[in-house]
Structure 1
Amino acid sequence: MPRILVLYYSSYGHVETMARAVAEGAASVEGAEVAVKRVPELVPEEVARGAGLKLAQDAPFADPNELGDYDAIIVGAPTRFGNMAAQMRNFLDQTGPLWVKGALVGKLGGAFTSTASQHGGQEMTITSIHTTLLHHGMIIVGLPYSWPGNSQMDEISGGTPYGASTIAGQDGSRQPSANELEGARFQGRHVATLAAQMERGRPSH
């Protein structure tokens, strides 16, 4: 039974919505055990409220030390100037003890994101997450072109071979589209399927 963690940071709810879709896709794989957790906000509460950040989210906060308990980790974060948001960077920077022990070596890792504009750094942000996961020795799983939505051309849509994505709009008013949510579900299902296959291939003790 593979254990999947969908770990995310979301300022305004777009990545949160995508995280739920990723988890839905992962949970559709028989035997998969899926958890959705988020990383803490770093912005002072009064500043966050003034900026309209979504502070009330259902997912519990994750502990960096628990990441080694999972067979696959799918990380979601919005872009900040072509990189992952500082909140996720700060959380991942606390995983040094796991790196020392090699606790994540050989586990599956994936990423998804949200940007304000169509060309606002989606792929750069996802690959910035990949870089950290690779330093942990994880096996990267993207969003392959076997998902037809990656070739969507009749409407503006996120979706990259590196991972699922959504476009929030400059004012944040655009919510994840049906195609973007299906990409997130596909990625979750894809990661969980591979994790289950790896689990079945392990020798019993």
Structure 2
Amino acid sequence: RYYSLYGHVDTMAREIHKGAASIEGVEATLWRVPEMLSDRILEKMKAPPKPDDIAEIKPEQLVEADAFIFGFPSRFGVMPSQLLAFFDSTNELWASQALAGKPAGIFWSTGFYGGGQEL
């Protein structure tokens, strides 16, 4: 599960997916969180189109996973609002403890000092 605006995190996610999928008995799936910016804004930001081969995830699909790795770019040390909104949408899963005990990890990309490497 990841969010990528300019494709850097997408590249990293695909490599992590490749590594996970190479482990016997592991079924790895890539998902991306929904975009909140309009196509017009994304075009003005010169963001590349979202990959057609990666589906958007819905919060309830997290229940099906045995583990998670979340990826995101860091802007001024903070994850983007797209991922925060996705996490906020999992409140029912949190309340019911549907994800309790599932291992999770993160990876991120940042482009300048103080931009989030300290995460």
| 3-state SS in 2 of match to 1:80 | coil
SS at match of 2:104: strand
Is the aligned partner of 1:85 residue 2:80? yes
Tell whether 2:91 aligns with 1:96: yes
In structure 2, the residue matched to 1:199 is: none
Equivalenced residue count is 118
Point out which structure has higher relative CO (alpha carbons under 8 A, 6+ apart). 2
Query: Do structure 1's residue 23 and structure 2's residue 17 form an aligned pair?
Result: yes
Residues 75 and 115 in structure 2, CA contact (< 8 A), matched pair in contact too = no
Deviation larger for 39-48 or 11-20: 39-48
**How big is the shift at 1:121?**
1.1
1:123 is displaced (CA, Å) by 3.2
Report the aligned-residue RMSD.
1.1
TM-score by length of 2: 0.94
Q: TM-score scaled by structure 1?
A: 0.56
Structure possessing the higher radius of gyration over alpha carbons: 1
Q: Greater helix share, 1 or 2?
A: 1
Identity of aligned residues (%): 44
Structure 2 unaligned runs (5+)? none
Q: Partner of 1:128 in structure 2?
A: none
Structure 1: which 5+ residue stretches go unaligned?
Answer: 1-6, 125-205
Correspondence for 2:3 among 5, 9, 33: 9
- Say which structure is richer in strand: 1
